Chains A and B, each alone.
Chain A
């Protein structure tokens, strides 16, 4: 007589992730937090230049409806060497677009290890944790960790001035939106 095992192996939870490159380093981001992937060229006409010295990692912004979306240079954010960026991730549930060098691949992770307590600076906000893929340790970025509330306030103020100046210049030229 055979008995059914009372212990069921719990289904392994997986999360789809995108591995991307920034300045020759590989990072992971949850696919669910990426709304769109665009080439830098495709946004060239839509992006407005913004120069706010307090947030040097942001040089461009996009208008999406009534919202300002700020383009964060990932290399500058992580303190890496500047590198030629080719793609932009428009992130979900945040007003951040992330400038990256390229996509490595899409894959899934089954385990996310919390960052050790030995890491005690900005990286705690940058990353959700670390994952191991093919015997490599990959940091998994926190999509909400690219701009703080304070930085968004500063950028919104700069963007407001920029938009007003642009509207005034359009009126002077007799252009109606």
Chain B
């Protein structure tokens, strides 16, 4: 069976960036929260705007709108807190979105070889064809490594 023939019904969260809608697999979404105070510190990863504090965790904020719709969001109504796997660890990331999100059940068509790496699949909803995002390809990331010995570090280091 080729990639165009495979269908898979999954729960997805529809999110709005400007005028466009995209989808994320629901199992990658933790919660939708109102924008809170963003903390900024010196770093060299331009895709990351800063970090927010959520349930005691420090969550990086990554504006994916520039990559997806060609411009940064001028108004951020919510942060969609998502999880992605980086090697053996799960990593949280906050995506600013410009509107309400919607949980739907849809049949997914896997992405093809000509699709962008950030497209994991496609779905059709209310006559609209929507890209299901591959967060790992869309957001910057690396498997956490201990620079001294190359071993993965714990998500929470001990002082």
Question: Which A residues are within 8 Å of any B CB, using their own CB?
Answer: 13-15, 25, 27, 78-80, 109-126, 128-132, 135-139
Contact = CB atoms under 8 A, between A and B. Distances in A.
B interface secondary structure, majority: loop
A136 B52 CA distance: 10
A129 B155 CA distance: 10
B44 A122 contact: yes
Given A80-B42, A113-B58, 15 more contacts: A110-B159, A111-B156, A111-B159, A118-B45, A118-B47, A119-B48, A119-B60, A119-B140, A120-B45, A121-B43, A121-B45, A126-B43, A137-B53, A138-B41, A139-B41
B59 interface: yes
Contacts of A112: 156-159
Given A113-B58, A132-B58, A119 B156 contact: no
Interface string B35-54: 00001011111011001010
B157 A116 contact: no
Given A78-B42, A80-B42, A130-B51, A118 B159 contact: no
Interface residues of B, number: 35
Contacts of B48: 118-119
A139 to B, nearest CB: 5
Contact of B157 (A80, A128, A137): A128
B57 interface: yes
Interface of B: 39, 41-45, 47-48, 51, 53, 56-60, 62, 86, 89, 91-93, 139-144, 147, 153-159
Contacts of B86: 117
B43 A129 contact: no
A162 to B, nearest CB: 30
A80 B62 CA distance: 21
Contacts of B59: 116
A1 to B, nearest CB: 38
Contacts of B53: 132, 135, 137
Closest 5 CB pairs of A and B: A15-B159, A78-B42, A121-B44, A123-B43, A137-B39
Contact of A113 (B42, B139, B143, B156): B156
Contacts of A128: 157
B45 A119 contact: yes
B30 to A, nearest CB: 14
A125 B145 CA distance: 11
Given A80-B42, A117-B141, A14 B159 contact: yes
A162 B7 CA distance: 70
Contacts of B143: 117
B42 A124 contact: no
A79 B60 CA distance: 20
A83 to B, nearest CB: 13
